[in-house]
A and B are shown apart, each in its own frame.
Chain A
Amino acid sequence: MTNISDYLIKHAKNNPDKIFLIVGKECFTFKEIFDKVEKLASNLNNFSKNSIISIMFENSLEFVISYLAIIKIGQIVHVMSPTISKENFLKQINSCEPVIILTLKKFKNLFEDVNTNKQFIDFYELDKQNSTYENNEKSEFTSLLYTSGTTSSPKGVKIKNSNIIFTTKNISNVLEYNNKDVDIVPLSLSHSFGLGCLHTSLYNGSTIILHKNTINILDILDSILENNATTLAAVPATLTKLVNDFPEKFVEKCYGLRLIITNSTKISKNTTKKILKLLPKTKLATYYGLTEASRSTFMIFNDNEGKEESVGKAAPGVEIKIVKENKELKNGEIWIKGENVIESYWNSEFSDKFEEGWIKTGDLGFFENEYLYLTGRKDHIINVGGEKVHPEEVENIVKKIPHIDDVIALGVEHELFGQVIKIIIKTSDESKIDINSIITHCKKNLERFKVPREVEFVPEFPKNEHGKIIRHLLEKNYHENK
């Protein structure tokens, strides 16, 4: 069975001295990464088949080595970001029951007061050991990533080797990645978009330059020119900031790029047009997908003037259909089928999301001349800069504050992040509630992108005849009054 880690063996053999990974000021060749992966794999090789090993790193050498080593030994790698909230950390660990959590001391310290019996192992402590590698029977599953589910249960997305290989080949073929590419990736590897970039660089034998985040956006631009980079993968918020705030530097540093690829949330028409105008020779592409159905469509904007708001056509080998509640409607739920689609969630939860090989995405959209257009969500999930947020998760945290009778979280438009969270609070005594203390409470208990940016007080919520809050009416009121 081929898995993505096998491509490291191939490139370490054929191109041992070629630079594979650049993080910060450090460069590592394929052979160096291969040796480090082999060593860690040997030290991790004492678990039974289908064991889960959790990893918690920022974008770093340690992430890449751990991720590839766990895949190499045929176990399942559970990927967590160090910025995860304690509540979500515990939910994920209780759900997947890892044999160990591989991380660094500085991240372990963040979760010291979380009540779990799972063992944290420091990457460098493990790396000091000298065990012997034995080839185990490998799991067909490679990785486990959790996405926003309902409050009580995050959805564990278990990804097969075959899902990854299928998707990586599609990315490489459609976007013409090759071993001469130098790929700039300022995206978290804890998400499907970033991981897909790592897979693509590894599959093609190109060079990947990882950035920890996008705060120092000019450092990213500098690294493009300094390394003669050919591709840039970035979320729409990063691209919007670049073309709005630094258009001259963007042109100066990026003129050599053959490809800019974006994803995670729909890129705005304005940003698309600005990039195409500033860098007419660079291909600008996006794709639509979920962690559960990665890269389901591709769109190359240069070839499709006038279709800037579409996410493109179905990827090769992927079927997409629109399931409408009523034939007269233009919109319907997007269902996807193909080798990029997972078979089920972890522990076979949420089985109602699958039907005869199709996954029901919850996204709404329509087709026009084979081009897919997204129009919203069937549920109320909010997309903050590509991060999905279930409103109930925010609401349950806010409800813990005294004097708040009820609360609704909505997604409201934001220039940079697409959407941000607004909370509407029902209270009988507004004077007893301090907005700053609500925000501080949220910051302590939620990941940062889930923290509300706007707060409004109301005396009552609109309710239906059963006493249930009519959420879509609040959303409609917001859009009409903004």
Chain B
Amino acid sequence: MDIENEIKKVFFDVFPNLTDKNYGLDIEQNDYLNWDSFAHLELMTGAESKFQIKISPEDSLSIKTARDLLELVKSRI
């Protein structure tokens, strides 16, 4: 499985207005205009169901970029 691409799909699902131009693995949470608590919950549940993993509340708080989520997923599967 191309995990990086699957992570990108999770982000594009949660932020439908994202484009290849404004998506990047290292773009920070604060630079997304609508990465709020609802979006964060969707990112976590999206990754949990796609990769069949469980993300704890502590781990969830450490996710501030797509790369953070990628690294977390890699460490779990």
Question: Which of B13, B33, B37 meets A214, CB within 8 Å?
Answer: B37
Question: Would you give the shortest CB distance from B58 to chain A, in whole angstroms?
Answer: 8
Bound-complex Cα distance A213 to B39 (A): 11
Contact B34 A237 (CB under 8 A): no
What mask results when residues 24 to 37 of chain A are scored 1 for a CB within 8 Å of chain B, else 0? Answer: 00000000000000
- Judge whether A400 is part of the interface by a CB distance below 8 angstroms: no
Q: Which residues of the partner chain A approach B37 to less than 8 Å between Cβ atoms?
A: 213-215, 237, 385
Q: Which residues of the partner chain A approach B33 to less than 8 Å between Cβ atoms?
A: 82-83, 106-107, 110
Interface size, B (range): 20 to 34
Interface residues of B in 11-32 (CB under 8 A from A): 13-17, 29-30
Bound-complex Cα distance A301 to B13 (A): 41
Q: Which residues of the partner chain A approach B39 to less than 8 Å between Cβ atoms?
A: 448
Contact A444 B16 (CB under 8 A): yes
Interface size, A (range): 20 to 34
- Judge whether B61 is part of the interface by a CB distance below 8 angstroms: yes
Q: Which residues of the partner chain B approach A110 to less than 8 Å between Cβ atoms?
A: 33
Contacts A216-B61, A245-B57 given; does A440 touch B16 at CB 8 Å: yes
Q: Which residues of the partner chain B approach A416 to less than 8 Å between Cβ atoms?
A: 41
Q: Which residues of the partner chain B approach A82 to less than 8 Å between Cβ atoms?
A: 33
Q: Which residues of the partner chain B approach A216 to less than 8 Å between Cβ atoms?
A: 29, 61, 64
Interface SS of A by simple majority = helix
- Judge whether A217 is part of the interface by a CB distance below 8 angstroms: yes
Query: For B36, B37, B40, which residue has the most chain A Cβ atoms within 10 angstroms?
Result: B37
Give B56's nearest chain A residue, CB to CB: A245
Q: Which residues of the partner chain B approach A217 to less than 8 Å between Cβ atoms?
A: 61
Bound-complex Cα distance A448 to B38 (A): 7
What mask results when residues 195 to 215 of chain A are scored 1 for a CB within 8 Å of chain B, else 0? Answer: 000000000000000001111
Contacts A212-B30, A444-B16 given; does A241 touch B38 at CB 8 Å: no
Bound-complex Cα distance A218 to B62 (A): 10
Contacts A216-B61, A246-B57 given; does A440 touch B13 at CB 8 Å: yes
Question: Would you give the shortest CB distance from B34 to chain A, in whole angstroms?
Answer: 5
Give B36's nearest chain A residue, CB to CB: A213
Bound-complex Cα distance A82 to B34 (A): 8
Give A244's nearest chain B residue, CB to CB: B57
Bound-complex Cα distance A107 to B34 (A): 11
Q: Which residues of the partner chain B approach A246 to less than 8 Å between Cβ atoms?
A: 57-58
Contacts A83-B33, A83-B36, A110-B33 given; does A218 touch B61 at CB 8 Å: yes
- Judge whether B35 is part of the interface by a CB distance below 8 angstroms: yes
- Judge whether A138 is part of the interface by a CB distance below 8 angstroms: no
Give A24's nearest chain B residue, CB to CB: B30
Question: Which of B16, B29, B36, B40 meets A443, CB within 8 Å?
Answer: B16
Bound-complex Cα distance A385 to B36 (A): 13
Give B30's nearest chain A residue, CB to CB: A212
Interface residues of B in 38-59 (CB under 8 A from A): 38-41, 57-58
- Judge whether A449 is part of the interface by a CB distance below 8 angstroms: yes
Q: Which residues of A contact B (CB under 8 A)?
A: 82-83, 106-107, 110, 212-218, 237, 241, 245-246, 385, 416, 436, 440, 443-444, 448-449, 451
Extra pairs beyond A110-B33, A448-B36 (14, CB < 8 Å):
A83-B36, A107-B33, A213-B37, A215-B36, A216-B29, A216-B64, A217-B61, A241-B57, A440-B13, A444-B16, A444-B17, A448-B38, A448-B39, A451-B38
Question: Which 6 residue pairs across A and B have the least CB separation, nearest first?
Answer: A245-B57, A448-B38, A443-B16, A215-B40, A444-B16, A440-B16
